[in-house]
Amino acid sequence: MSTSKREVVKAQRQRRKRQQRMKTFVIIGVIGLILIALFISPYIVNALRPVGAVTTITKIERPLVDGRTMGDPNAPVVVEVFEDFQCPRCKDYSDTVEKSLIESDYITSGQVYYMFRHYPFIDQNSAGQESHQAANASMCAAEQGAFWDYHDMLFVNWNGENQGAFIDKRLIAFAESLALNLEQFNTCFKDNKYESEINSDYDLGQRYGVNGTPAVFVNETALTPGLVPGYDQLKQAIDAALAGGG
């Protein structure tokens, strides 16, 4: 083969290599753009969504409230409830079992210390972060002494898992509806100020073996694992713990 022909073949091979590299770069670029779009599109959609109607609440008087707890920290019986604000069964529990406990004298008499614990797991496999952001917002409300009111606002305005009920705009609107200091709330919310506390609750739930919500524990013993307990079941567990000396 003459020198000129070898140079032509070499040039053709180099051109094909450049074209192949270019195709590879284009494919990688397209895949990257698709992944970016998949990641940010839910946030764009949520940013463009209107706040929508916000249902207000009638505030409920709760006994011996301190942040997200009720009762005497030195009570012989500690009831811990792990919840995700997107969980429909948690709303049912709050409306029935929790309400009945509040209406009893267990908390006011110093027998029961009741604690809400965060277990935001529903959005783990979702691009949205509504469970985590709802928990974040509730703690910012707690900072202003309004955890339980905000808790009620979340449940009364829930309309499905990862359906936009708890996008940031709405969470801020809930705070406004409760007449919270919005500047303080927004700073707390934006900074995700209580992330470590929420994560600590979640880690504790993992150690307890929580695999769904609501998960109720009486002195660290699970009550009807995997099921929403009735008030009678909770009462029996409390009475048994009291009879056993706590």
The answer, yes or no, to whether residue 3 has pLDDT greater than 60, is: no
Q: Which helix (H) or strand (E) holds 131?
A: helix 130-142
pLDDT of residue 175: 98
Mean pLDDT for 40-56 is: 63
Q: How confident is the model at residue 191 (pLDDT cuts 50, 70, 90)?
A: very high
How far is residue 112's CA from residue 241's CA, in Å, rounded to a whole number? Answer: 10
Instruction: Determine the pLDDT at residue 224.
Output: 78
Cα→Cα distances 131→37, 96, 111, 123, Å: 22, 22, 31, 6
pLDDT digits (tens, 9 = 90+) for 140-185: 999 999 999 999 999 999 998 899 999 999 999 999 999 999 999 9
pLDDT at residue 50 in the model: 62
Give me the DSSP letters along 52-80.
-----------TTEETTEES-TT-SEEEE
Q: For the chain, first and last CA: distance in Å?
A: 97
Task: Indicate the DSSP class of residue 105.
Answer: S
Buried b (16+ CB within 10 A) or exposed e, 147-180: bbbbbbbbbbbbeebbebbbbbbbbbbbbebbeb
Q: What is the mean pLDDT of residues 24-43?
A: 54
Strand, helix or coil for residue 82? strand
CA distances from 25 to 13, 19, 38 (A): 18, 10, 20
- C-alpha 129/C-alpha 103 separation (Å) is 34
pLDDT digit string (tens) for 68-116?
Answer: 999 999 999 999 999 999 999 999 999 999 999 999 999 999 999 999 9
pLDDT at 52: 81
> Under a CB-based contact definition with an 8 Å cutoff, are residues 59 and 147 in contact?
no
CA dist 207 and 205 (Å) reads 5
Angle at CA of residue 139, ends 138 and 143, nearest 5°: 115
Q: What is the mean predicted confidence (pLDDT) over 20-43? A: 57
In the chain, where the domains are located: 1-48, 65-243
CATH code reported for the domain at 65-243: 3.40.30.10
**Does the pLDDT of residue 35 top 70, yes or no?**
no
Digit-coded pLDDT (tens) for 192-246: 999 999 999 999 999 999 999 999 999 999 997 667 889 999 999 999 999 986 5
Ranking 41-45, 58-62, 82-86, 103-107 by mean pLDDT, the lowest is 41-45
Pairing of strands 215-218, 77-83: antiparallel
Residue in 111, 221, 86 with CA at minimum distance from that of residue 166: 86
Dihedral class, residue 216 (left if φ above 0, else alpha if ψ from -120 to 50, else beta): beta
Average of per-residue pLDDT across 130-149: 98
Highest-pLDDT range among 11-20, 120-129, 206-215 = 206-215
